[in-house]
Amino acid sequence: MKHTVSLKQNHEFRRLYAKGKSAVSPYFAVYCRPTRRPYSRLGITTGVKLGKAVRRNYARRRIRELYRTNEDRLLPGFDIVVVARYRILTGPYDQARRSFLQLMKKLGLLAPREDTV
């Protein structure tokens, strides 16, 4: 993740939950808020309801990979928190990817595509 730093402080997560824009899908919920930084910050939350540590880490790895592979399509300067839902463990990766991009577009984080002719 080239242009992204991790969100780690509890108060930063709480601020996003309270004041950020949100969008949900069966795979995850995403909260975001613009900042004045030239880079984005990403936080990933996996609750105990997903299962034990192995399953929660698997969900985190999938979300991190979704973000990493699509990072160049996202606008910089946002705090983003992704909350994993159960379907991220069981659903196909391609559908999770589509759902991730739809949520990013809905929240205004997806950069307009530059079509080359």
- The mean pLDDT value for 20-27 works out to 96
Specify if 115 maps to a domain. no
Specify if 116 maps to a domain. no
Q: Is the pLDDT of residue 20 over 80?
A: yes
101 lies in which domain range?
Answer: 4-106
pTM of the full predicted structure? 0.91
Closest CA to 67 of 104, 34, 107, 106: 104
Structural domains of the chain, count: 1
**What's the pLDDT score for residue 61?**
97
Q: List the beta bridge partners of residue 44.
A: 82
Specify if 117 maps to a domain. no
Contact in structure between 4 and 39 (CB atoms under 8 Å):
yes
DSSP 51-81: -SHHHHHHHHHHHHHHHHHHGGGBPSSEEEE
CATH number at residue 17: 3.30.230.10
Specify if 59 maps to a domain. yes
Q: What is the pLDDT of residues 34-72, one digit of tens each?
A: 999 999 999 999 999 999 999 999 999 999 999 999 999
Specify if 65 maps to a domain. yes
* Relative orientation angle of helices 53-70 and 93-106, to the nearest 10 degrees: 60
